Amino acid sequence: MRCLEKYRDYFVYLQAHGEEEERLQVPYGDVTQKEKQIIQKKLFELMECFTGIHRDKLIWLCEDMGLVELDMQRLNGKWKWTRVDAAYNLGIMRSKLAVPALMTLLQKNTNDTSVFIIARSVAKCARNTEDLREMATHVVRAKNNVHQLIVDIISDSQVDTAPLFAQFLQDSDAELVKIGLIGYAVHAQPGIEPALYQLIQSPDKEVRIKAVKLMCRDIRYMNEQTLTDFMNHKDWEIRAMAAKAIGSLKLHAYIPSLKKAVGDANWWVRHHSARSLAQLEVEGFAALCEILQEERNSHKSEMAHQVIQEELEKEKLVLQSATATEKLVQYNEKLHLYRKSYRKTISTVQALER
């Protein structure tokens, strides 16, 4: 408190002169190491409040005050958490000079969560994509199932990360490919389509699923050959994603494919296929009703009947809260289709019994 009071006017000066062109002045007089560390914490608080040139000037001030040099020395300290704290501080100050030392510290710390603190500091200080690549490669090999976290850490970098994620997509290491796929999903960039098509054939199932998931959210990929491949894929997850995408993207041309997939051996594929048919207006609903006529006492007819009932109930509730004539006409048309198919089913059963 004495230190903060002593430098109160200095902190006011920092906030008042943040937009000017010249560098900020260091505190007047002799500043002890302890005072420097207290001032440093205050500078970090100010950095959280500012962006752009104002924050850059605070970072330059940290260099001019010797704070970067102080934490570089602390990286070699006796106590582990002193070294980790120094790494954290260097990340906040985005010191490019610290990258080699931070990378060395990262390679020595793999047994606990401190690896993520150090990795984030590397990302913030990174000079280029090669620094980020080296960091990501080390972390993904040291820890399991951290691909999403690594993408989040990389996003803290001031380096353009799009080329890095593109490189990862073409890497032979499946773990780096997964990072690239997640990064591409978050920071979508054009020109990656060929790599995605190749990854569908990857021997790693998770890679295949992540690649198809990306493609299924973009209508540009949903051509006839691709959807045919997806709907007949050996992985049920891919068949289910493709079935779901047809409904969400309103691809009416693939109603026959969905109708067939309602009879898939996997429950999730049947579920998403039937739900997608329900999304495709009256035409898709009619296909569900056709299943009732064509199938009897099967998983396929059971799923179709369940979704039909849910769809009619949902539309009935909508009609109770709205007066749109179009909605009423659509509901009545669907109800007529269902009753018609149901009567035909009963008639068929009775004929067989006779």
Summarised one tens digit per residue, pLDDT across range 287-305 is 999 998 887 778 999 999 9
Q: What is the mean pLDDT of the chain?
A: 86
Helical pair 52-64 and 33-49, crossing angle rounded to 10 deg: 170
Q: Which residue has the tokens 């969400």?
A: 248
The pTM (predicted TM-score) of the whole model is 0.78
Q: Is the dihedral of CA 345, 349, 352, 354 positive or negative?
A: negative
Residues 285, 311: contact at Cβ < 8 Å?
Answer: yes
Tokens of 286: 């009619």
CB atoms within 10 A of CB 179: 27
Residues whose CB falls within 8 Å of the CB of residue 214, separated by 6 or more in sequence, listed in order = 181, 184, 185, 196
Highest mean pLDDT among 40-44, 106-110, 174-178 belongs to 174-178
DSSP state string for 242-282: HHHHHHHTT-GGGHHHHHHHTT-SSHHHHHHHHHHHHHSHH
Percent of all residues in the chain with a pLDDT value above 70, rounded to a whole number: 90
Q: Indicate the range of 16-30, 136-150, 260-274 predicted with least confidence.
A: 16-30
